[in-house]
Chain A
Amino acid sequence: MSATTTAPAGVAKTPKSKNASDRSVAENRLGMKLVAPALVVMLFVTAFPMLQALWLSLSNYALTAPDDRSFVGAQNYVTALSDPLFWRTMLVTVGIMVVTVFFELVIGFVFALVMHRVIFARGIIRTSILIPYGVITVVSGFAWQFAFSSTNGFVNAWVPFIEDNFNWFGEQFPALFAICVSEIWKTTPFMSLLLLAGLAQVSEDMIEAAKVDGATWWQRMWKVILPNMRAAIMVAILFRALDAFRIFDNIFVMTGGAVNTESVSFLTYRQVIEQFQIGMGSALSVLLFLSVLVIAFGIVKLFRVDLAAARQEG
């Protein structure tokens, strides 16, 4: 786009700056114009507030006492990171993430295999699988909370070895179990659809060739199908893990954070919206954001996820 006229000798050597034809200049301009609205909307709600959060997190600022606002440096971070409460919520969050993603992956894969092979009632199954995906998380939370409820639910009656008046929401682990069930119920279908798409990309020829070569079902699964679905599985894990780490709705609805079921998201929310501790809440926001970055980075590095595939390039 540089309008400077370079020496004629440089014509062939600097094609980018000099040979940018009218068409590519126009294309460049049109492209930028077309993405501008999307970029502005996306950044307006994320980058700008995030920068603001960064700034606010360095101050002691509570809406309850706005006049006492002062710059405190990293004090909020020190407070948060040295508070066992923060680490407990972090542990709970990571625990939920690992458990839910693991079960979603396993169950989702079974579902994907069934959907891939099923011939009858294909439409009905695919329609049903979308229902949990479409149901509002809050509704899912309610449904499962009431299902686990000892007074009005059915789980205690249906599941053996559980006393009829067992209170699932009275202790940390049973409560977390109920939360995970709701989470897994709602998102497994989504996972199975992602895996189904990956499964569809494994060519039938290859599987048949493996069969002819004498591979058992199990060998075909591990040596042919799964390696060829790697990209799909990794992208699914990445997105679902980050999603699970942000868990909020189910906890809010099912336990309200009681009996040590708070997640990092929930803690942040409570600081800001319920206790109006903007400074501390912002610090937690930043920490939450950083945790997501670390997890994303970790998954990408650990599993060598092809981010270009995730970004849909090429």
Chain B
Amino acid sequence: MAGIQIKNIVKKYGDGFPAVNDVSIDIADGEFVILVGPSGCGKSTLLRMIVGLEDITSGDMMIGDKRVNDLAPRDRNLAMVFQNYALYPHLTVYENIAFPLRLAGASDSEVDAKVKEASKTLELDEHLQRKPGNLSGGQRQRVAMGRAIVRDADAFLFDEPLSNLDAKLRGQMRSEIARLQKKLGITTVYVTHDQTEAMTLGDRVAVLKRGVLQQLASPRELYENPGNLFVAGFIGSPPMNFLPAEVEGTSVKLPFGTVEIPADKAEKAAGRGLLIAGIRPEAFEDASLVDEARAGGSTFSGKVEFVEWLGSETYAYLPFEAPPEVVKQLEQLEKDLDGDSLRTQLVISLDGASRVREGDQAEIWVDTSKMHLFDPATGENLTVDLSNAGRIPALDSGVPA
């Protein structure tokens, strides 16, 4: 087993467009790292460069202490689970799992022992003599993982392995992958566009946009301290709300009224004119349900257009007007995020006990300590807590990777 160091990796295709641009990620031995981003962000390309299925235009790819840029996939000793599993339909489950061992010329007894062990771990014992064509999606997925774990590979690579499963099975397999990775303690790189997978599986998550690494941090850090608008909008569901904001002293003027923010945040954002405020839906609450102890935020009033009651919580939607400057930035963000429609409306998550109804003029409380302020021109998060935000490449200019 070994760590993987991705150093200033660039991938350019024939047209000169960089699909992956100067990405550096240091993956420790045994770590579970997720590459996430909307389609076309270069995450799969990056994974395929690690495994050797794509050429590297420049930069260094290190596995352990070895530079592997010029090694063929078979010489890199990595195991990969493909999106469609790539099971060999002409071989039985047993022979599928044994395939890498057979290629390596392992003895029959060794093959048998390892395949049996893998099939036990993955609960495939009763299917060993079947052909992949007769298996269910989840079983195929496990066979693909079996083929990976018999190898004693230096690392596992997953390329959107759950995208072909239905929602229920996806949840199951997700926890199974997590369990397996903990058990084997093997370095793992996992590509997905699904942020739930990214948040639940990874020790650290690398968020990519158009070939550029945006932020590399733990899921919690990403959620609480997104480095820029893109990361803030990408992580979290329902997504973070973005509102036009103007800071004056410690008060922030939002479309629904003026709220007070902590002094340290106000200081970082002072004198910048029009900004974009980012507030997660759960930072809001029905003011009537907020007890004294939680006070410290601000209260404002807004007209609720639409309510979704989910039992444990209630989503309320409050439309607002935004100046063209902000709208333009939000439209660009929407494009970057793969068209996840971000209408200029506030989505807030209230307690299930809230009695707010459609058409109400509701009193809403907001925890302003959780508010972020973004520069509308650059998208940079002005109020980020750098000590708890992992690595934000855009900010470490001059610092060697």
Taking the complex as a whole, does A directly touch B, i.e. does some CB pair lie under 8 Å apart? yes
Contact with A along B15-36 (1 / 0, CB 8 A): 1100000000000000000000
| B15 in contact with A15 (CB, 8 Å) | yes
- Residues in B with CB closer than 8 Å to A15 are 12-16
Residues from chain B with Cβ under 8 Å of A22 in the complex:
55, 70
Say if the beta carbon of A23 comes within 8 Å of chain B: yes
Chain B interface extent, by class = under 10
Determine the residue in chain B with the shortest Cβ distance to A23: B55
Contact A19 B70, beta carbon cutoff 8 Å: no
- A12–B21 Cα gap in the complex (Å)? 13
The answer to the question of A24 belonging to the interface, with a C-beta cut-off of 8 Å to chain B, is: yes
CA distance A21 to B13 in the complex (A): 10
- Tell me, yes or no, whether B92 is within 8 Å of chain A by CB: no
A279 nearest CB across to chain B (Å): 51
For residues 1 through 32 of chain A, which have their beta carbon under 8 Å from a beta carbon of chain B? 12-13, 15-16, 19, 21-24
Residues of B within 8 A of A12 (CB): 12, 16
B55 touches A21 (CB 8 A): yes
Contacts of B13 in A (CB 8 A): 15
CA A15 – CA B18 in complex, angstroms? Answer: 12
What residues on B are CB-neighbors of A13 within 8 Å?
A: 16
**Shortest CB distance B246–A (Å):** 42
> CB of B57 within 8 A of chain A?
yes
The answer to whether A24 touches B55, judged by C-beta atoms less than 8 angstroms apart, is yes
Could you tell me the dominant secondary structure of chain A's interface residues?
A: helix
Q: Chain B nearest CB: distance from A27 CB in Å?
A: 10
How many residues of chain A are within 8 Å of chain B by beta carbon? 9
Of the residues B14, B55, B70, contact of A16 by C-beta under 8 Å:
B14
- CB neighbours of A24 from chain B (8 A): 55
Neighbouring B residues of A23 by C-beta, 8 Å: 55
Neighbouring B residues of A16 by C-beta, 8 Å: 14
Nearest-Cβ distance from residue A205 to partner chain B, whole angstroms: 25
Shortest CB–CB separation between residue A119 and chain B, in angstroms? Answer: 27
CB-nearest residue of chain A to B54: A23
Closest A residue to B18 by beta carbon equals A12
Closest Cβ of chain B to A23, distance in Å, is 5
Could you tell me the distance in whole angstroms from the C-beta of B242 to the nearest C-beta in chain A? 35
A111 to B314, CA, bound (A): 64
Interface residues of B in 195-221 (CB under 8 A from A): none
B16 → chain A closest CB, angstroms = 4
For A21, list chain B residues within 8 Å (CB): 55, 57
CB distance from B15 to the nearest CB of A (A): 7
B57 to chain A: closest residue by CB: A19
Closest to A13 in B: B16
Complex interface residues of chain A between 94 and 151 (CB less than 8 A to chain B): none
Q: Interface code B305-349, partner A: CB below 8 Å = 1, 0 otherwise? A: 000000000000000000000000000000000000000000000
* Bound Cα distance from A21 to B57, whole angstroms: 8
CB distance from A36 to the nearest CB of B (A): 23
A-contact 0/1 string along B185-198, CB 8 Å cutoff: 00000000000000
Measured in the bound complex, the distance between the Cα atoms of B12 and A12 in whole Å is: 9
Q: How far is the CA of A24 from the CA of B55 in the complex (A)?
A: 9
How far apart are A14's CB and chain B's nearest CB, in angstroms?
9
Interface centre among A13, A23, A24 (most CB of B within 10 A): A23
Closest chain A residue, CB of each to CB of B16: A12
Which residue of chain A has the shortest Cβ distance to B70 in the bound complex? A22
CA distance A13 to B16 in the complex (A): 7
A256 to B14, CA, bound (A): 60
A308 → B minimal CB distance (Å):
21
CA distance A13 to B55 in the complex (A): 19
Interface string of B26-57 (1 = CB under 8 A from A): 00000000000000000000000000000101
Bound Cα distance from A290 to B16, whole angstroms: 45
A12 to B55, CA, bound (A): 16
- Determine the residue in chain A with the shortest Cβ distance to B15: A15
Minimum Cβ distance to chain B for residue A199 (Å): 28
A23 to B52, alpha carbons, bound, how many Å? 10
User: With the chains together, A24 CA to B13 CA distance in Å?
Assistant: 12
Report the separation of the CA atoms of residues A24 and B57 in the bound assembly, to the nearest whole angstrom.
Answer: 12
Chain A nearest CB from B106 CB (Å) reads 28
B 68-103 to A, binary, CB cutoff 8 A, 1 in contact else 0: 001000000000000000000000000000000000
What CA separation (Å) do A15 and B15 show in the bound complex?
A: 7
Residues from chain A with Cβ under 8 Å of B57 in the complex: 19, 21
A207 to B16, CA, bound (A): 46
How far is it, in angstroms, between the C-alpha of A7 and the C-alpha of B14 when the chains are bound? 17
User: From residue B2, how far is it (CB to closest CB) to chain A in Å?
Assistant: 24
Give the residues in chain A near B15, CB-CB below 8 Å. 15
Complex Cα–Cα for A22 and B14 (A): 14
Bound: A19/B70 CA distance, A: 15
Shortest CB distance B202–A (Å): 30
Question: Complex formed: what's the CA distance from A16 to B13 in Å?
Answer: 10
- Nearest A residue (CB) for B55: A21
Rounded to whole Å, the gap between the CB of B10 and the closest CB of chain A is: 11
Residue of A nearest to B14 (CB): A15
CB distance from A208 to the nearest CB of B (A): 29
Complex CA–CA separation, A12 to B16 (angstroms): 5
A24 nearest CB neighbor, chain B only:
B55
A21 to B53, CA, bound (A): 13
Query: Smallest CB–CB gap between A29 and chain B, Å?
Result: 15
Question: Could you give, for residues 238-254 of chain A, a 1 whenever the CB lies within 8 Å of some chain B CB and a 0 otherwise?
Answer: 00000000000000000
Residues of A within 8 A of B16 (CB): 12-13, 15
Supply 11 further A-B pairs (C-beta < 8 A) apart from A12-B16, A15-B12.
A12-B12, A15-B14, A15-B15, A15-B16, A16-B14, A19-B14, A19-B57, A21-B55, A21-B57, A23-B55, A24-B55
List of 3 A-B pairs having minimum Cβ-Cβ separation, nearest first: A21-B55, A12-B16, A15-B14
Chain A to chain B contacts (Cβ below 8 Å), 18 pairs: A12-B12, A12-B16, A13-B16, A15-B12, A15-B13, A15-B14, A15-B15, A15-B16, A16-B14, A19-B12, A19-B14, A19-B57, A21-B55, A21-B57, A22-B55, A22-B70, A23-B55, A24-B55
